[in-house]
Amino acid sequence: MVSESVATTHLRARRLGLSARRVEDQIRRRRMVDRFMRGLMLASVVIVLIPLFSLLVYVGQSGLRGLSLSFFTNLPKPVGMAGGGMANAIVGSMILVGLAALAGVPVGVLAGMFLARSTSRLADTVRFVAQVLNGIPSIVVGLAVYGLLVLPMQTYSAWAGGMALAIIMIPLVTLNTEEMVRMVPRDLNEAALALGIPAWLATLRVVVRAALPGILTGIMLALARVAGETAPLLFTALNNAFWHQGLSNPIASLPVTIYTYAVSPYPEWHQQAWTGALVLVGMVLVTNVLARVLGRSRYDRR
Partner 1 sequence: MSQPMHHQPRIVNRGDRLFRAILIFFGLAVLAVALLIFVELWGVARPSVERFGLRFLVETRWDPVQEQFGALPFIYGTLVSSFIAILLAVPLGLGVAFFLSELAPRWLRQPVSFLVELLAAIPSVVYGLWGLFVLVPIVRRFELAVLQAGLDVLPIFSGAPYGIGMLSAGVVLAIMIVPTVAAVSRDVFRAVPNSQREAALALGATRWEAMKVVFDYGRPGIVGAVVLAWGRALGETMAVNMVIGNQPVISPSLFSPAHTMASVIASEFNEAVGAMHVAALAEIGLVLFGLTFVLSAVARILVLRVEHRARGRQSAAEGVGA
* Contact set for partner 1, span 90-109 (CB under 8 A): 106-107
Residue 196 to residues 104, 173, 189, 193, Cα–Cα distance (Å): 33, 31, 11, 5
Contact 253, 39 (CB under 8 A): no
Segment 146 to 175, residues that bind partner 1, using CB under 8 A:
146-148, 151, 167, 170-171, 174
Does 299 help bind partner 1 (rule: CB under 8 A)?
Answer: no
Q: Please tell me the distance from the alpha carbon of residue 34 to that of residue 28, in angstroms, as a whole number.
A: 10
Q: Would residue 83 be called left, alpha or beta, if left means φ above 0 and alpha means ψ between -120 and 50 degrees?
A: left
DSSP summary character for residue 290: H
Candidate list 111, 192, 206, 215; residue touching partner 1; CB under 8 A: 111
Candidate list 19, 73, 131, 245; residue touching partner 1; CB under 8 A: 131
How many residues belong to the site for partner 1 (CB under 8 A)?
A: 102
> What count of residues does the chain have?
302
- Between 7 and 82, name the residue whose CB sits nearer to partner 1: 7
Q: Identify the CA nearest to 102 among candidates 180, 203, 173.
A: 173
Q: Mark the segment that binds partner 1 (CB under 8 A) among 12-20, 33-41, 68-76, 80-88.
A: 33-41
Q: Please tell me the distance from the alpha carbon of residue 222 to that of residue 88, in angstroms, as a whole number.
A: 23
Segment 45 to 84, residues that bind partner 1, using CB under 8 A:
45, 47-49, 51-52, 54-55, 58-59, 62
Q: How far is the CB of 260 from partner 1 (least distance, A)?
A: 10
- Between 210 and 279, name the residue whose CB sits nearer to partner 1: 279
Segment 206 to 235, residues that bind partner 1, using CB under 8 A:
221, 224-225, 227-231, 234-235
